[in-house]
Each structure stands twice: as C-alpha cells, then as structure tokens.
Amino acid sequence: MRGENAIVHGGGCLCGAIRYAAQGAPLAVNHCHCVQCQRATGAAMATWATWRAADVRFVKGRPSEFASSPGARRGFCGQCGSTLTWRAVEGTPAEIDLAAGTLDDPDPITPRDHLFTKSRRRWLPLCDGLPAYVEHRPKA
C-alpha cells in the first residue's frame, strides 16, 4: 500500500496495558470543550482524532467502557485510567474517536476546529484561528 492509507498510527495508555493501531489518516480531528470531555480527562478540553472503526484495532488489551451520556461510550484503561476512546453507539457507530494525546506521534494530525465551545473554560482563549462551534460542526 502507498500514501495515507499505508500509514499506521500506533498508540496506547500510560501504563502500556492497552495498545492500538489506526490505519490511514483520520477522518477528522477536533478539540472538544464539552463538560463530559473536561470531566473524563481532567483537562480544559480533549483533542480527538476520528477514524472509521474498521480501521482501528486493539493489539494489546481492550479498553473498559463507560456510558458517559445517552448514546455515547468512553473507553479508558482499567489499570491506569487513561482516556482512550469515544464512540457513538447511535448515529455514527462506524466511527471511533481516539484521544490524540495517546498517539505515539500526535504531531502529524492537525485539529481542524473547536466543538462545544458553549462549555469552554473562559480562561482558555481560542487563539489558533480554527473555526469554533457552539455545539457540533455544521453538516457538510
């Protein structure tokens, strides 16, 4: 294989109990400011990279999951607590979001927007020039 489809992005949790491989380029990358992401990560926002679920495989261990809101499940390491995944069980179940900070090399992926800025911490300025949406990005 050649090009972006040949790229494999590896990643995993802090303690190494869970490792994953994501094939190709992500479909989207965003900064999410929703309250659930803030509480799940303990940070002001979470950066997510979205892949087709079929292009992500867990090569060591499996995340534990928590139903964080209706129709959504968050994956984390049951040993160290690292936030790993977010996925819709309704709407877009064919996609999975990986926490960008868990990628071995997150620099090649580039966020394209800010979501759920209605929950943004006011002490975190948005000064990167990316589009910012009160909730979801508009449908294309």
Picking from 71, 70, 66, the residue whose alpha carbon sits closest to that of residue 83 is 66
* In contact, 103 and 114? CB cutoff 8 Å: no
Which strands, in side-by-side order, build the sheet including 8-12?
A: 8-12, 19-23, 56-60
Topology (CATH level 3) of domain 3-119: 2.170.150
**Per-residue tens of pLDDT for the chain, all 140 residues:** 455 667 899 999 999 999 999 999 999 999 999 999 999 999 999 999 999 999 999 999 999 999 998 889 999 999 999 999 999 987 777 999 999 999 999 999 999 999 999 999 999 999 999 999 999 888 76
* In contact, 11 and 102? CB cutoff 8 Å: yes
